[in-house]
């Protein structure tokens, strides 16, 4: 797998602030990644809670997006404890908005495949969250099969990752793990194990398994109005709540 390099520049086009994302080097594999990301953004475009595509340019493999002028969730922390500093009310709004975002994405037969705090922008002035970076997004085939590769952000991959499975349920798990941080059940995770190595009997696999155990221990402490987190972090794929059901229940 080739190493992809990304640059992001901010500029104004037609009086609109945009972010220009460029992929390089220009190889067949990187070009295909660019095409997939553009196609996914076009397909999911619409809701304000999802990164908006303005344009793209095959000439320099650039993607022009609405500029999100606010900070990502991983920067909304109390430095010495690395815990999230959003209020309870803000965390509830973000939880609902991101469930809506995933429900919409999944309805378009797309999985995001990299839901984590660095890919969620938060505006405290408007109480608005935006899901960004569809660089890892992939299509769900008509028979519900999703291609697998060992990509992702380590603390947010689901247990089925070890069985080389990916799907919409993995996005729900990743959002659940993100919300454990947002709702201050855990500090911002810093697991840096190398995902391609977790399929071998080594330290990376051991650390990932220990992390899954820790998540389940935290899950057992969840109570009160956060009970939907229990369903989002269900190990059994058949029992894990869907994004559409999660979004509906959070609006009730």
Please write the tens of the pLDDT for every residue from 167-200.
999 999 999 999 999 999 999 998 778 999 999 9
**What residue spans define the domains of the chain?**
5-66, 71-251
Residue 185: which of 197, 195, 176 has the closest Cα? 176
Task: Give the per-residue pLDDT at 2.
Answer: 54
Task: Give the per-residue pLDDT at 152.
Answer: 93
Residue 96 CA to residue 129 CA, distance in Å, equals 10
Predicted confidence (pLDDT) per residue in 25-73, tens digit: 999 999 999 999 999 999 998 789 999 999 999 999 999 999 888 999 9
Q: Which residues pair with 139 in a beta bridge?
A: 110
What are the strands, taking DSSP E only, across 16-118?
Answer: 16-24, 53-57, 62-66, 71-72, 77-78, 83-84, 110-111
- For the residues 214-235, what does the mean pLDDT come to? 95
CATH superfamily of 71-251: Transferase(Phosphotransferase) domain 1 (1.10.510.10)
pTM for this prediction: 0.94
Same fold, 5-66 and 71-251: no
At residue 225, does pLDDT exceed 90? no
80 burial via Cβ count (<10 Å: 0-12, 13-18, 19+)? exposed
Location of structure tokens 């939880």: 95
Residue 249 CA to residue 168 CA, distance in Å, equals 18
Task: Give the per-residue pLDDT at 86.
Answer: 98
Among 14-18, 82-86, 174-178, 247-251, the least confident range: 14-18
CATH number of 5-66, picked from 3.40.50.300, 3.30.200.20, 3.30.420.40, 1.10.3720.10:
3.30.200.20
């Amino acid at each position: 797998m080739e190493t992809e390099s990304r640059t992001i520049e901010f500029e104004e086009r037609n009086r609109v602030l945009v972010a220009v994302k460029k992929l390089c080097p220009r190889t067949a594999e990187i070009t295909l990644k660019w095409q997939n990301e553009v196609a996914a953004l076009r397909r999911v475009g619409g809701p304000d809670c999802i990164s908006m595509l303005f344009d793209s340019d095959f000439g320099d493999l650039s993607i022009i997006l609405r500029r999100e002028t606010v900070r990502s969730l991983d920067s909304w922390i109390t430095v010495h404890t690395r815990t999230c500093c959003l209020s309870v009310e803000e965390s509830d709004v973000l939880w609902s908005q991101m469930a809506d975002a995933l429900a919409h994405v999944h309805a378009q037969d797309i999985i995001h495949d990299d839901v984590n705090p660095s890919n969620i922008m938060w505006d405290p002035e408007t109480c608005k969250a935006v899901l960004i970076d569809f660089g890892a997004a992939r299509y769900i085939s008509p028979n519900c099969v999703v291609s697998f590769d060992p990509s992702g952000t380590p603390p947010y991959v689901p247990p089925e990752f070890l069985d080389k499975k990916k799907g919409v349920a993995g996005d729900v798990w990743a959002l659940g793990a993100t919300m454990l941080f947002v709702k201050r059940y855990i500090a911002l995770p810093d697991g840096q194990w190398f995902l391609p190595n977790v399929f071998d009997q080594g330290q990376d696999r051991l650390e990932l398994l220990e992390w899954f155990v820790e998540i389940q221990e935290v899950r057992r402490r969840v109570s009160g109005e956060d009970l939907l987190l229990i369903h989002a972090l269900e190990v059994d794929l058949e029992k894990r709540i869907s994004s559409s059901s999660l979004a509906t229940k959070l609006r009730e």
